[in-house]
Structure 1
């Protein structure tokens, strides 16, 4: 099962993904994201300068303004690709 990283403040998303059987970890450091197939972020700490240094193979999903159900559907869609 794919490993999904979720920012700490998104507990509703974390619980919804776990209910669907995903291996979910809380993102605490940049290294955590490198281990994940997909990461869900709040979007609040998005890089305003346009410079991104995080090395990651997986997908990043911005949760801003979205429900846990919408995010779960996008995770499933991206994982299947």
Structure 2
């Protein structure tokens, strides 16, 4: 358990290692939320030879969505 003021990404690698050791998992890939896109986690996954699929945050500056959606002409 971790205090509420600690982001989940901080203890992630230790928790992953504990699950692998305790349950004998053979982890090849993990899918993570954008909050886990940190250099230490990416480095730790690479060291463990685990493929990380990590979401990215959309830019909130400007109206990105309207620029990426093509409007059809009538």
TM-score, with length taken from structure 2: 0.31
Task: Considering Cα pairs closer than 8 Å and 6+ residues apart, tell me whether 1 or 2 has the greater RCO.
Answer: 1
Structure exhibiting the larger radius of gyration computed from Cα positions: 2
TM-score normalized with structure 1 length: 0.29
